[in-house]
Amino acid sequence: MNELTKKTRKTFKNIFETEASHVIRAPGRVNLIGEHTDYNDGFVFPAALNFATVIAARKRDDAIVKVVSLDYGNEIDEFDTTKKITYSEKPWANYVRGTVKTLIDNGFEVGGAELAISGDVPQGAGLSSSASLEVAVGYTFKTLFTLEVTNKKIALMGQEAENRFVGCNCGIMDQLISACGVKGKALLIDCRTLDCEPCEVPADLSIVIINSNMKRELVGSEYNTRRESCEEAAAFFGVKALRDVSIAQLEEKLNALPDVIGRRARHIVTENQRTLDMGKALNQKDYAHISRLMAGSHASMKDDFEITIPEIDFLVNTGSQVLGEKGGIRMTGGGFGGCVVALVPNEMVDTFTNVVCKKYVEKTKITATVYVCKASAGVEVVQG
């Protein structure tokens, strides 16, 4: 039992004066390539991480859900599952409320529960702390109330909660990888069919995440604007989503689109192809190709989708100079801050992180945070 689980169980017992019956773990994720393609019915390539949300829980005999958040000073939220579930003034609580409301709206019978929630997924860094929480809550209620629901359905309901209750129009990737991750592998996910193809991350490569410590906010931000631009471009081409537009079709009609809409569409269409190519490059251990694909992805996010910031660009440029064609580096996540992800040969990890972080603090006066990660399993019961 790890320290996060021990801490969460202990707080549960202190607050609720009894032992938790179950402990659930749902991981955060990093996306190796395929950014903003998920809500365009496209392809993404995430890996679940060994950072997670943990929930200690037990059923109650009534309809009250009582939740304590360790990460917010043991703040408590409480609501009744038999009454209309409304928005809370506590932002973290809305991910819990929204997920439970969505379970009920989808016809699942749930009752009251006591939950203690904690996590070590860095918040505001683009590693999906919110999706991890939604999946953990969904799986906790599945476990407590013996619900007949698949992990994919839990992911879809987590997405629905974030879209309709929290108010962020995220795609399905974050919740799906948290629910369906495979240890040691990334998943090539088709966001239209939800088909998941596991792809082994070569053992001689480490997943290195560098947090710029430039916080980002998605709700009410540029994220929804980008989504609207993509929908406008899809309507122009007469297709359901930009997934259905080929590079040749895009190039043929690009000049007929407004400049900004055309560049947004070009990012999505080319990013889908890069994501498909990434699976082949990993399988073939073609590290020079991986380097080019990740570089192309970052350039597209910077110039066409316009979601990077100078601090992130500096990290990527510095890291690419260290790696050359031995690995790859790009921004990951929704943009406007957060993290970069790199695939780094194991023997280069120390040199890579030392050089990049040293130059970053010299340039920005900000200390970056480094996570050397491994691909993790998806949501699971760790006790109970």
CATH number, domain with residue 193: 3.30.230.10
Please indicate, yes or no, whether residues 193 and 213 belong to a single structural domain of this protein: no
- Residue 40 is predicted with a pLDDT of 94
Please indicate, yes or no, whether residues 132 and 60 belong to a single structural domain of this protein: yes
CATH number at residue 311: 3.30.70.890
Asked if 174 is an active-site residue, the reply is: yes
Please indicate, yes or no, whether residues 188 and 216 belong to a single structural domain of this protein: no
Beta bridge partners of 209: 341, 371
Please indicate, yes or no, whether residues 213 and 126 belong to a single structural domain of this protein: no
Please indicate, yes or no, whether residues 166 and 153 belong to a single structural domain of this protein: yes
The one-letter amino acid at 342: A
Please indicate, yes or no, whether residues 152 and 266 belong to a single structural domain of this protein: no
Q: Per-block average pLDDT, block size 10, for the chain (384 residues)? A: 92 97 96 94 94 96 98 97 96 97 98 97 74 97 98 97 90 92 95 94 94 71 88 98 98 97 98 96 95 98 96 98 98 89 97 98 97 93 89
Domain interval for residue 264: 201-373
Gap between the Cα atoms of 336 and 218, Å rounded? 9
Please indicate, yes or no, whether residues 53 and 182 belong to a single structural domain of this protein: yes
Please indicate, yes or no, whether residues 185 and 258 belong to a single structural domain of this protein: no
Please indicate, yes or no, whether residues 176 and 32 belong to a single structural domain of this protein: yes
* Residue of 71, 174, 304, 350 marked active site: 174
pLDDT in tens, 148-178: 999 999 999 999 999 999 988 777 889 999 9
Structure tokens at 87: 């928005």
- Residue 218 is predicted with a pLDDT of 53
Ramachandran category for residue 324: left, alpha or beta (phi over 0 → left; psi -120 to 50 → alpha): left
- Residue 384 is predicted with a pLDDT of 78
Please indicate, yes or no, whether residues 107 and 138 belong to a single structural domain of this protein: yes
CB hemisphere CA count around 11 (13 angstroms): 27
Please indicate, yes or no, whether residues 220 and 158 belong to a single structural domain of this protein: no
Please indicate, yes or no, whether residues 223 and 277 belong to a single structural domain of this protein: yes
Gap between the Cα atoms of 144 and 251, Å rounded? 52
Gap between the Cα atoms of 130 and 160, Å rounded? 13
User: Of all helices (H) and strands (E), which one includes residue 363?
Assistant: helix 349-364
Query: Residue 27 in contact with residue 181, Cβ under 8 Å?
Result: yes
pLDDT in tens, 40-73: 999 999 999 989 999 999 999 999 999 999 999 9
- Residue 41 is predicted with a pLDDT of 95
Number of structural domains in the chain? 2
Gap between the Cα atoms of 118 and 279, Å rounded? 33
State whether residue 62 is helix, strand or coil. coil
Gap between the Cα atoms of 368 and 379, Å rounded? 28
- Residue 124 is predicted with a pLDDT of 64
- Residue 336 is predicted with a pLDDT of 86
